[in-house]
Amino acid sequence: MASREAVRAAVRQVRPILSADKGEARKRVLNLYKAWYRQIPYVVMDYDIPKSVEQCREKLRQEFEKHRHVTDIRVIDMLVVKGQMELKETVEIWKQKGHVMNYFKETEEPKPTDFLSKFLAGHE
């Protein structure tokens, strides 16, 4: 009982990664969004991807919405850092077209629903 309270008190004052409070974390997130938003026309031009600027912006919005529910500040900071790393690689053209197009690829294959697909997949 006492140990549980001690753990709770310790967890409340954990060391921050980048931002100390929600306001700062929110600023970082919005700046990252702005930077990506402004870079998208150049991404489309440099990598010559078969997507339009609007589609890329929609995808950007989707990626940010994926993590909308996150409340832990350290997790938010980590996600922002990863986003900044991706942005750096995209801006400096260290990536290639395939890396950029990976954003548009679904990582999970949809499960087969009708009989034939299930048969071909081996009744999975």
Partner 1 sequence: MAALVQGVRGALAISSCLLRATLPRATLVGLQQKGIHTNLCGVTPSAALLTSRNESKVAAQRWMASNPGVKPTVVEIKDRVLRVCKEFDKVTRLSLTRQSIRLYSDKAPLSLELIRDRVLLVLKLYDKIQPEKLTLETHFLNDLGLDSLDHVEIIMAMEDEFGFEIPDGDAERLLRPADIVRYVADKEDIYE
Task: List interacting residues with partner 1 (CB under 8 A).
Answer: 26-27, 30-31, 33-34, 37-38, 61, 64
| C-alpha distances out from residue 24 to 68, 72, 77, 82, 109, Å | 16, 13, 10, 17, 38
Shortest distance (Å) from residue 99 CB to partner 1: 24
Burial 4-34 (b: 16+ CB within 10 A, else e): eeeeeeeeeeeeeeebeeeeebeebbeebbe
Shortest distance (Å) from residue 55 CB to partner 1: 14
Shortest distance (Å) from residue 34 CB to partner 1: 6
Nearer to partner 1, 8 or 38 (CB): 38
Closest by CA position to 24, among listed 13, 14, 16, 36: 16
Nearer to partner 1, 63 or 86 (CB): 63
Nearer to partner 1, 61 or 82 (CB): 61
Nearer to partner 1, 26 or 118 (CB): 26
